[in-house]
A and B are shown apart, each in its own frame.
Chain A
Amino acid sequence: GENVEQHPSTLSVQEGDSAVIKCTYSDSASNYFPWYKQELGKRPQLIIDIRSNVGEKKDQRIAVTLNKTAKHFSLHITETQPEDSAVYFCAASNSGYALNFGKGTSLLVTP
């Protein structure tokens, strides 16, 4: 089955700096790669996703890149703000199938 590795497990940045979280996956059949932000006790919130036919996608301060050959994808957050502090999960799936989650990255943005 699919195995998703996520690094780092914790990340601390100064407000205004950039944050990068990286994930690798093992199943070449995976074609959907979402990123979720989860606050304590709440559901995961989709912040951005990318499909296997696209190499990069950007939405304001958030971007995701995908390298299908190397089977890795990354989340980039620019101009970080304290409200970006949360746990971020990457995931991989084949469309319509269950999501396989990485272990999560706890991001702390300090003012």
Chain B
Amino acid sequence: GAVVSQHPSRVICKSGTSVKIECRSLDFQATTMFWYRQFPKQSLMLMATSNEGSKATYEQGVEKDKFLINHASLTLSTLTVTSAHPEDSSFYICSAYGTTFNYEQYFGPGTRLTVT
């Protein structure tokens, strides 16, 4: 099956600093990657859709200048949380979709971000 990795799995940073999270498709080309955020005991909420070589599409209420997304290749998308604050602490999960897939998306293992 298709494998998606995410790095780091956990990160603790100080308020005001920036954190980069990587999402990689290891054995397929991901034309589209999605970034979700999940707060404790809540559902996954879509933050943005990232297509290779083009600007990401952000969901309403998600600040594009705060959550920078880059999908520079068919196997890598990055999410940078800029000037992080404690309220940004959350579980960030990416998923990837390839043109050879009819429907299914494949999830990364997630990144637990804690901002102190």
Task: Please state if A98 and B34 are interface contacts (CB–CB under 8 Å).
Answer: yes
CB distance from A13 to the nearest CB of B (A): 20
* Interface residues on chain A, number (Cβ under 8 Å): 22
- Classify the secondary structure of A's interface with B: loop
Q: Is the CB of B43 within 8 A of A103?
A: yes
Tell me, in angstroms, the Cα distance from A32 to B102 when the chains sit together: 10
For A32, A42, A96, which residue has the most chain B Cβ atoms within 10 angstroms? A96
The residue that B110 contacts in the complex, of A43, A93, A98, A101, with Cβ under 8 A, is A43
A34 engages B34 (CB within 8 Å): no
- Chain A 44-82, CB-CB to B under 8 Å as 1, else 0, gives 101001010000000000000000000000000000000
CB-CB under 8 A for A101 and B95, given A42-B110, A43-B109, A46-B104: no
Taking Cβ atoms with an 8 Å cutoff, the residues of B that contact A are: 32, 34, 42-46, 49, 91, 93, 95, 97, 102-105, 107-110, 112
Interface positions of A (Cβ within 8 A of B): 31-32, 34, 41-44, 46, 49, 51, 89, 93, 95-104
